[in-house]
Chain A
């Protein structure tokens, strides 16, 4: 068996597995009957349908020729990890360190994901963004966001 289209193969695999997972999960809820559908009725049907479509896609990927095997290509690991790490860190740090520290930190880390990173531009960008965020979100929309680290005792 040879994979004729890498993209379709993995897409089909994804749909198949997710469909099965949802359908299997649905069996733990009451299925009910057609006259009185329970909470498991709709998700079970959807999961089965999705798994079927995934299987069709898999079958296609193994039988129908595609140009050059339709490879997935390289994965941009650096931006993927750096950007999502920066955002995750923002989530962890915001309630503890406050926006004034967290936001520039996030900007600094995420900027590193670009190939054209420069310290000067990034620091300037961070300053502009924290000022704008303060003006728009705190002053303008009066949202409640912790501004300073909680160890200093001050709240917003």
Chain B
């Protein structure tokens, strides 16, 4: 069977010492930043991108992937123990997880989260391995018109499912696309928007934008708020093993969460965050035991379901990135950037041109998940200690790594100055409630989108209807329009606002 052969190839790659080491390093670092509030996977991966120049492509991507799913584990640990979700995808875990911790059942909650995540990670890996090849085949049928429409769908999908104003989010995409236009035009060789600055003719580095907006912008925003002092439930972590009853309660929730997360992760704009919210809602709606603890007061299903879902979603969100080269969220956008740094053109050809990278990365996710379970349960005490590191020592460290990273991008201080500029921009976005993630997606996709648009128009001799008359392209565009229509319907809009209000509360 092909699936088995492919996975065997992948595991062969993943089980080499060097790749095991990087999977471990990535997962560990991911957990660390997941535990530390105020430092997310986007900023961390951006910070590490300059250092992957020295690595081979496969270990580099394995490490970056490890950071992403490791952060999901770490984020849930802090959500349960101190009611501070280290990651946005752990927001719902905090509701019942923290309630369990207060009742002295932190151990059971952590175990449910950890084992649910591991199960979901295993399923997610198989889902990727099974669905990637057929999707890749479909992608080979795509011409420039289809690619353009697919990117439109991906970008629209990324914003309709996100929180906040739809108009602002679409405007942020356009802003990102425009920033991507600062470069030398590939077809005519004309430098655009460069103001005769030689560094700008190569385009702005996306690391510069990511660090400026996500790194510096967030630090400034965090410092602008009064310092928080929080209570940590460390002494109570004992009796890690859940009771038999816990198992019975949790496993259907794990199954439901995994299924939901796997599906939602593949959708454009999906991924860990959306999956966790949907799973919590699903658990609240489905019936458990008659005498179970109500939701919000420490129901184990409220931990197991969303935690499984966010991990499954984190895994399957690799599918559109790996098969089509289209990132569904900001972390995947950075992964696309990392591939380009290593000279790999993201897209359907990756699977055939770099099979060891493709399958090795997939297999490493399973390996990484296994490492996380084995590591995390005993190491919880250490993670908790890390929480006592105050932010006033943490942020100069983040700044230091960012600065060194920026300088070494091109051994040039121009990138440092650009990042300062984007730091100001990032703070402005924060103040105006403009979510910056869509900007990064637009920025990454901008040049690709322009090239496909121009090629499609060239092929159709300037006829714009080509996007609507080619069936695949028309279907994709119809999907994008449908998504906008659905979220603007009054009833759904109300529901969407309610759902995100829960998140902010």
Contact = CB atoms under 8 A, between A and B. Distances in A.
Contacts of B165: 8, 57
A150 interface: no
B167 interface: yes
Given A33-B462, A53-B167, A107 B413 contact: no
A87 B432 contact: no
Nearest to A57: B167
A43 B185 CA distance: 11
Interface string A7-30: 110110011001100100110011
21 contacts: A15-B174, A22-B193, A29-B190, A29-B192, A37-B458, A39-B187, A43-B178, A50-B175, A57-B168, A57-B171, A72-B431, A76-B223, A80-B220, A83-B399, A87-B403, A90-B416, A91-B416, A110-B395, A111-B396, A143-B408, A145-B407
Classify the secondary structure of A's interface with B.
helix
A143 B407 CA distance: 10
Interface in B430-463: 431-434, 449-450, 453-454, 457-458, 461-463
B216 A19 contact: no
Nearest to A44: B181
A100 interface: no
Interface in A23-51: 25-26, 29-30, 33-39, 41-43, 46-47, 49-50
Interface in B206-226: 216, 219-221, 223-224, 226
B403 A90 contact: yes
B458 A46 contact: no
B220 A137 contact: no
B309 to A, nearest CB: 32
Interface string B166-200: 01101100110110010001011010110000000
A29 B193 CA distance: 10
A87 B423 contact: yes
B483 to A, nearest CB: 17
A26 B182 CA distance: 11
A113 interface: yes
Given A18-B175, A30-B188, A113-B223, A87 B416 contact: yes
Contacts of A125: 393, 396-397
Contacts of B403: 87, 90-91, 94, 103, 106
Contacts of B424: 80, 84
Scoring A36, A106, A114, A142 by chain B CB atoms within 10 A of each residue's CB, the highest score goes to A114
Nearest to A125: B393
Contacts of B68: none
Contacts of A92: 413
Interface in B390-424: 390-393, 395-397, 399-404, 406-408, 411, 413, 416-417, 419-420, 423-424
Given A91-B416, A91-B417, A129 B171 contact: no
A49 B216 CA distance: 29
Contacts of B171: 11, 15, 50, 53-54, 57
